[in-house]
Amino acid sequence: MRHRRVISFSANTVKSTFKPLNQKAKTMNVVILAAGVGKRMRSDLPKVLHPLAGKPLLAHVIDAARRLAPHRIVVVYGHGGETVRKAMAGDDLHWALQEPQLGTGHAVMQALPHLDRDVPTLVLYGDVPLVPHDTLVGLTKAAGADKLGLLTVDLADPDGYGRIVRDGDRIVRVVEHRDADAATRAIREINTGMLIAPTALLARWLAALSNENSQKEYYLTDIVAAAVHDGVQVVSAKPAEPWEVLGVNSKRQLAELERIFQHRLAATLMDEGVRLADPARLDVRGELVCGRDVSIDVNCVFEGRVILEDGASVGANCVLRDTRVGAGAQILPFTYTENSSIGARARIGPYARLRPGTELGEETHVGNFVEMKNTRMAAKSKANHLSYLGDTVVGERVNIGAGTITCNYDGANKYQTIIEDDAFIGSDTQLVAPVRVGRGATLGAGTTLTRDAPENRLTVSRVPQTTVESWKRPVKKATRKG
C-alpha cells in the first residue's frame, strides 16, 4: 500500500508525524500555566482537561512544548489538583502547585525553583492549544538569549485583552484591559501572554511585582515595564493567523477551536487526495493514515489510530476507533468499529458493530445488526444479518445465517467457538461454546448446538413440529374500574 500521508493531531497543527528537534539541543525551560478555575466553563472538570480533537487542552500544549526539546517542562497547576497531574503522563514533566491563585505572575513564581537559570524560559498557557510549532520557534529566535520576547497579535476587536503600548517601535509596557484608559483601549495590538525571557532576569522581575491593580493580582505582563527600566530590549513576534493564539474560557470557545482544528485538518486531507463529502462534517480525534483514492462521507468520527488503505470508503455516520481498513473495503453507514482489522475488499455494515479483537479477512461480509467481539473471520465468509459472534474463529467461505448467536459466556467464563472452512450455519442457530463445527458441515435452521458437528454432515436439533389442538391464545384480563 502506498500511503499518501500520515495525518495526526499533535500540539495543534495538521502535519506529518513529527520527530522532536535535536535531543541534545535543550536550550530552554518551558512553563505551562494550568492552574485556572475556568468558571465560565460551568463544569466540574478542570478547564485544561476539556477535550479538543480527542485529547485534553493541556495535552496539546505539552506536545507543543516537547517539540521544542526543552531542558525542562514545568506545569503550574492548582484547580483540579491531582486530577490534572494524573491525567498528564510523562516522566519529563515537573509540577508546581499554585495555591491560592493570585495571578499569572504569581503562577510563574511557583515554577522558579524548577528552572535552570542559565537558559531562557518560555511561558505557555494550558488553555491555548492551537499555537503552532513554527510560531513558537519564531518567538524564541526573535528573543535570542538576552531579550524579552512577547507573542503579540493585531485584533479587529481587542476587547478584554491586554494592550501593547509602544513608544515608536519600542514596546514599553503592557496594560490590562480593565486597567486601561480610553486611549490605551483603542490600541489593537494585544498581548497573548506567551513570552520568553532570560530566566535569571525573569526571577528578579517577578520578585519585584506588585498587586496594586483592580484585581489585586500579580500580573506577569508587568515584567515588561521592569525590562524596559533595566534596559533589556523587548521584542515581539506574531503568529501567521489570529486563531493560533485563541484561548478557551467557555464551552462555546472550545467548540469554535474544535471546528478550526477540524477545518484545517480536512483541508489537508483533501489536498492529499482524500475525497470528503463535506469537510465541515468530519471529526478526527487521533491519527489518520490515508492511502490513495480514499473517500469519507459525512459525520464520520475517527478516534485513536485509524488506517484507511487505498480505495477504502467510509459511509455516513460511522465511528472508527483504532481500526485498519484494507484496500478497497467498504464501510457502510452507521458502522462502529473498535480495535479491529478489516481485510481488503470487505463489506461492513450498515449498522454493524465490530468490537475489540475482531479480524476480518479479504472479501468478508458483515451486514446489518451484526456484532462481533474477539472474532477472526477468514476470507470470503459472511454474516449478513442479525447475528452475534463472540470469541469465535470462522474459516473461509462460511455462511452465517440470520439470527445466529455464539453463546460464549456461562456467567463466569468465556469459551471459544470454531467454525471450519465451507461450513453453512442455518438461521436462528445457537452455538453453545466450547464447540466446533467441522469443515463443510451444515447446521439446520433453529439448531442449538451443544456438541461438535462433524465434517460434511447435516446436524439438526429440533423437536418434531406439533399442532396443539386444545391450545387457546391468552386474552388480556379486564381491569375493574373505580
CB neighbour list of residue 169: distance below 8 Å, 6 or more residues apart: none
Q: With contact defined as beta carbons under 8 Å apart, do 14 and 264 qualify?
A: yes
Look up 177 and say whether it is catalytic.
no
Closest CA to 371 of 358, 379, 393: 358
Ramachandran area for residue 401 (φ above 0: left; ψ -120 to 50: alpha; else beta): beta
DSSP assignment letter at 480: P
Please identify which of the residues 3, 94, 177, 385 carries the catalytic annotation.
Answer: 385
Concatenated DSSP letters of 171-230 = EEEEE-GGG--HHHHT--EEEEEEEEEEHHHHHHHHHT----STT----GGGHHHHHHHT
C-alpha dihedral, 243 to 249 to 254 to 257, nearest 10°: 0
The C-alpha atoms of residue 386 and residue 455 are separated, in whole angstroms, by: 26
Euclidean distance between CA atoms 279 and 274, whole angstroms: 10
Residue 466: Cβ-neighbour burial (10 angstroms; 0-12, 13-18, 19+)? exposed
Dig out the grid coordinates for 148 from the structure: 524579552
Q: How far is CA 408 from CA 60, 211, 372, 467, in A?
A: 42, 67, 12, 33
Cell numbers for 249: 474560557
Q: Residue 480: CB partners within 8 Å, gap ≥ 6? A: none
Q: Half-sphere exposure (CA, 13 Å, Cβ side) for 224?
A: 27
DSSP conformation class of 64: H
Catalytic residues: 385
